[in-house]
Structure 1
């Protein structure tokens, strides 16, 4: 059966108090609307239409790599009006259409599939996603018949005393038979105090025509919308708990889930241990048997088996097996660190390749360089890669020893099995097997302090 979806994402979100369109605020590192899009894509819903309005171009830019369609709602005149604005997307199709909101990122694949299966199996013309809550104040109530079918949706202010006792609420998420929706969408009117077109009126129209309308309830957390910064934080907490729980169930030890922040696209292998204060973002892959000691940030990187990281930042880079990083190291984008490497404290690596078994233990900067295997860098080494106009490259061969406080002025090459004396500034090629010394000869002037009058 053909399945498509409309995501309502045109609202401004006044309570957010923001210049950014509401649906572009992020939960666990991803925009609200992109959470919804990705969930639907994973449910085999190929055609997705996003109704945009406020900040339309920004929303387009943020979602353009998702391969979705767009409809423009220039005036926000209600949920029914949003469907009317998107009618060209589905009017010639047959099958089912689901409707979700771009500010409700917590809906799960399981519930989306459950909604569609329930709708088709029950031969309903419309199905409402609902939740059972303890306090239904302010929500529209789902009134069912004795057979379980939906009779009507009653807004809180219109409920009778008996209807106020109902604790099943409308989520604003639906599944429709496309042909019936098209046939009845034009019957909507805005004869109400808000002057808006309500999608809930379609349910009433279908019932008046004796069509079957169903409802299926899910966990109340999944239907929570984000309309304020407070609700954004609440959604973040729920999503983060889900993500951390998934990793723990898959064999990852998270010492303190409340202080561990993992993006929903991160992959982590078995027997990795994560201490408090770690932030792992983007499409990061952490293989098994790694240890992440407290307070590191890792984004869009690949961390191979057996790596240990302490209080460091790793961005868009690869770290090889059994390598140690930190504390207080900074691995910048496009860096490739090999196996059994030591990247120590206060070391910065920028767009460089460091081969296996090399040690860069402390207080060193390596930028735009290729470093061979088995090298050792003394404290205070600097690859001087910028001449004021261009970034230049340094190449260092295998088994080279770089003494303390050495400057390698790029572009320069240091061949295999070389030794550079401490305090040298290297500007020319160092041939294989050579010792390079590039520093001024020491001169001692006896009695100079007393003659200069500086002796205390």
Structure 2
């Protein structure tokens, strides 16, 4: 298989977002938009990724500095998509292979779509291939113009379309694959002959077509995947689509979600078979939930929480950075933060772990088989031995934990 490089365009400021955060770092269901594009590239077998940065470059570099397959390329002045790829010329000059070019603000991209695009590119031995989509409402997108035989003749931007071309439903969502040689040759020849005085990547595509090289367009992008994010409304819309995907995947794997529109689950969450998620549950971060659990309604699971099998969390229960062992019950109005709760522990209504002393986050460990009465306050750092009983309304500190009675004596 030929070596593959992806160029991801992530330099734009996006004034419509009205933000100080780099646009591609805005989150969709718990992860930055850019993360989804990177995942899709890796799924498709990309060896190296060039991320073109500009506005907010320090934020993006800091977020992904541990990713060894990423090289950051600065576009100091944003002068169009073609110019962004030109900035990568130093890294592409000695490269002989396939170059994917994608937008970093399009998180609905799927790895399978890129695989389809690359397979078609190789099969056709094309100089350039793009994946297109057919939209019921193509407003705002560049139209794909084909000849009578179905061969692509070019891309016409919305503002330049004739009345006839505006009726074309096939659009360019921005999924490109080029052979590196023809791409660099074409980039050397494009000029900023437009109102914005920018270099357009589509002009490079037109030059390759004009040179008689083979260019292919495959209709491979599902309509919902086309949406990029340029404002907060689109961010919300994309997040809803992603949430539907997350929940569909979980339900297909055997998880019951009682009321999907009123449930929010982070894309990083893992949930086991035959677990039931009740309405108004919010699961955020890297959370692991075992099998045969029941969560909610109105439960809140936070990052780094692990629930083993057969755990029940009820109404208005919050768990943060904690491990709840098999068979734990915390049915009502409880907070468990930075705790390890042993097997078959019962946590009564309104009980909490007081895990913050004003300066430090502290740990609570509750032994197997213990009973925590309603309204108990467990002040960390604290270790409750197995099989102990905490009476309702108690305040337990490490100094008094050893004085707790045994549950078997109750």
Fold-level similarity (TM above 0.5): yes
1:183 maps to which of 182, 185, 205:
185
Q: Please, what TM-score do these two structures have when normalized by structure 2?
A: 0.92
Deviation at 1:395, TM superposition (A): 8.4
Residues 34 and 63 of structure 1 are in contact (CA less than 8 Å); yes or no, is this contact kept in structure 2? no
Aligned counterparts of 1:89 and 1:302: Cα–Cα separation in 2: 43
Q: Of 307, 324, 330, which residue of structure 1 is paired with 2:311?
A: 307
Unmatched tracts of structure 1, length 5 or more: 385-392, 404-416, 420-456
Whether 2:319 is the aligned partner of 1:328: answer no
Compute the displacement of 1:364 (Å).
Answer: 2.1
Q: Which SS does the other structure have where 1:110 is aligned? A: helix
Deviates most, 213-222 or 77-86 = 213-222
Which runs of structure 2 are paired with 1:97-136 in the superposition (5 Å)? 97-136=99-138
Given that residues 279 and 296 in structure 1 are in contact (C-alpha distance below 8 angstroms), is that contact kept between their aligned partners in structure 2?
A: yes
**Runs of at least 5 residues in structure 2 that lack an aligned partner in the other structure:** 356-362
Q: Which structure carries more relative contact order (alpha carbon 8 Å, separation 6+)?
A: 2
- Report what 2:347 is aligned to: 343
Which of 366, 373, 377 is the matching residue for 2:386? 373
Question: What is the CA–CA distance in structure 2 between the aligned matches of 1:402 and 1:14, rounded to whole Å?
Answer: 63
Alpha carbon RMSD of aligned pairs, Å? 2.0
The equivalences for 1:392-431 within 5 A come to 396=401, 400-401=404-405
Q: 1:193 aligned to 2:195?
A: yes
Q: Residue 211 of structure 1: which of 213, 224, 244 is its match? A: 213
Is the alpha carbon distance of 1:282 and 1:66 closer, same or farther for their aligned partners in structure 2, counting shifts above 3 Å? farther
C-alpha distance in 2 between matches for 1:245 and 1:85: 40
SS class of match (1:92): coil
Distance 1:115 1:396 in 2: 63
Distance 1:86 1:395 in 2: 64
Instruction: Give the match for residue 14 of structure 2.
Output: 13
Q: Where do residues 34-183 of structure 1 align in structure 2 (5 Å cutoff)?
A: 34-67=35-68, 68-183=70-185
* Structure 2 contact 141–171 (Cα < 8 Å) conserved: yes
Matched, 1:268 2:271: yes
Q: State the number of aligned residues.
A: 396
| 1:281 and 2:293 correspond | no
Q: CA deviation at 1:316?
A: 1.7
1:27 lines up with 2:28 in the alignment: yes
Is the Cα–Cα contact under 8 Å of residues 343 and 360 in structure 1 kept in the other structure? yes
Aligned to 2:358: none
Structure 1 pair 381–43 and aligned structure 2 pair: CA distance change class (3 A) = farther
Taking the aligned partners of 1:31 and 1:199, their CA distance within structure 2 comes to 25
Shift of 1:76: 0.9
Which residue matches 1:364?
376
> What's the secondary structure of 1:346's corresponding residue?
coil
Is the 1:289–1:305 contact (alpha carbons within 8 Å) kept by the matching residues of 2? yes
Q: Is the 8 A contact 1:260 1:277 kept in 2?
A: yes
Cα distance between partner residues in 1 of 2:276 and 2:88 = 48
8 A Cα contact 2:264 2:280, kept in partner: yes
What is the distance in 2 between the residues matched to 1:369 and 1:65?
36
How many angstroms does 1:29 deviate by? 1.0
1:443 matched residue in structure 2: none
Shift of 1:168: 0.5
Structure 1 residue 418 displacement after superposition = 11
Q: State the structure with more CA Rg.
A: 1
TM-score (norm 1): 0.83
The 5 Å alignment of 1:226-305 reads: 226-299=229-302, 300-305=304-309
Give CA-to-partner distance per residue, 1:416-446, whole Å, 9 cap, x none. x999xxxxxxxxxxxxxxxxxxxxxxxxxxx
